[in-house]
Amino acid sequence: MKRITFLVTAITTLAGAVAFTATASRHAAAQEAAPIFVKKVPAGYRDWKVVSVAHEAGELNDIRAVLGNDIAIKAYRAGKLPFPEGAIVGRIAWSHVSSEENNRTFGRDQSFVAGSPTAAYLQFMVKDSKKYAATGGWGYSSFDKDGKPTDEAAMKTCFPCHQAIKDRDFIFTRYAP
Q: In whole angstroms, how close is the CB of 38 to a copy of itself at the nearest point?
A: 21
What does the alpha-carbon distance between residue 174 and residue 25 come to, in Å, rounded to a whole number? Answer: 28
Q: In whole angstroms, how close is the CB of 53 to a copy of itself at the nearest point?
A: 5
**Which of 3, 19, 1 is CA-nearest to residue 157?**
19
Question: Smaller CB distance to a copy of itself: residue 148 or 174?
Answer: 174
Question: Smaller CB distance to a copy of itself: residue 35 or 117?
Answer: 117
Question: Smaller CB distance to a copy of itself: residue 131 or 168?
Answer: 168
Residue 16, classed as helix, strand or coil, is helix
Q: In whole angstroms, how close is the CB of 154 to a copy of itself at the nearest point?
A: 16
Instruction: Judge contact between 129 and 156, C-beta under 8 A.
Output: no
Which residues contact a copy of itself by CB under 8 A? 10, 13-14, 46-50, 52-60, 63-65, 67, 92, 94, 96, 99, 101-102, 104-114, 117, 161, 164-165, 172-174, 176-177
Task: Please provide residue 49's backbone torsions phi and psi, each rounded to the nearest 5 degrees.
Answer: -80, 160
Q: In whole angstroms, how close is the CB of 67 to a copy of itself at the nearest point?
A: 7
DSSP letters spanning 75-95: HHHHT-SSPPTT-EEEEEEEE
